[in-house]
Amino acid sequence: MILITGAAGNLGSAIINSLLKKVPANQLAAFVRSEQKADQLKKLGLNIRIGDYNDIASLDNAMKGIEKVILISGMSMERLKEHANVVDAAKRAGVKQIAYTGVTMKDAAVSPLKALMESHFQTEDYIKASGIPYTFLRNTLYAEVIPFYIGDQALNTGIHYPAGAGKVPYVYRPDLADAAAVVMTNKGHENKTYQLTGDQLYSFADVAGLLSEVSGKHIAYTDADPVAFEKHMKEIGVPEIGIMISTGFAAAIKQGDFEVVTTDLERILGRKPTPIKQYLKAHYVG
């Protein structure tokens, strides 16, 4: 049986959808924080395990009968401690493989996002030290995060974001989910690290160009002043955590932290990744 943590989240839900194309629902277990979050998953016929990363007893209960675990990274600043709890529970239960969804980037230790990203790589080290066979799925930034950076009104306002000419090989979340499903249902992926990226780098000027193509309007990109950008976000009521994340990613993208392109995703999927133009058209034009 395969346990998916964070099963009610966007990536967890997508991975479950992909796995259901390959294995029966009764071979999947979903780890969620509450009965309410479990409702939809129950309808799909999955086994439900309730708990959270800080509840050791719930983790031990969740691991009963589990052969493989997909550890979807949490968002907490205590992420390493929480992930270690999951790994420890998996080891106690004799789990035979852990897949961890980390991040593809150049060097988290010197990134403006160090506080947020370094724990991904520390989690990988902890998993390796546990002795459990692992698969590290280092995901690049989702295409689905682009609207968070540029807003849903970009076709009317243009793009104003302080990321300079930095580029990202964005990838469509369902492609990452399909890759996770392949890895967990086939042999030969144990003790491997995959950097899962799109096949092309895009700056925000490039994103503006794609939006221009799909909308038939000229969409401009302005490399916003970071101080003015942060001030504007405060003025429109963006929460502090949202400002920190948005400005942090802008600085990291500008620095080139995500400018890593590999063919790992294409090789696992056996096809080209979904073009981000397709996602942008669906989101902004319909």
Largest CA-CA distance found in the chain, in angstroms, rounded = 58
Q: Is the whole-model pTM more than 0.85?
A: yes
Residue 122: inside a domain, yes or no? yes
Residue 163 lies in a domain: no
Q: Would 47 be classed as within a structural domain?
A: yes
The separation between CA 279 and the C-alpha centre of its own chain, rounded to angstroms, equals 16
C-alpha pair distances (Å), 163 with each of 35, 146, 261 = 41, 12, 19
Residue 148 lies in a domain: no
Please check whether residue 41 is in contact with residue 48, taking contact to mean a CB–CB distance below 8 angstroms. Answer: yes
Between CA 34 and CA 157 the distance in angstroms is 40
The residue segments making up the domain with residue 88 are 2-140+172-196+261-270
Query: Has residue 211 been placed in a domain?
Result: no
CATH classification at residue 177: 3.40.50.720
181 Cβ partners below 8 Å, 6+ apart? 15, 18, 19, 21, 22
Task: Indicate the number of domains in the chain.
Answer: 1
Within a domain: residue 176?
yes
- Cβ neighbours of residue 244 closer than 8 Å, sequence gap 6 or more: none
Q: What are the pLDDT digits (tens) for 231-277?
A: 988 998 989 988 988 999 999 999 999 999 999 999 999 999 999 99
pLDDT tens, 200-222?
999 999 999 999 999 999 999 99
For residue 83, being part of any structural domain is answered with yes
Residue 228 domain flag: no
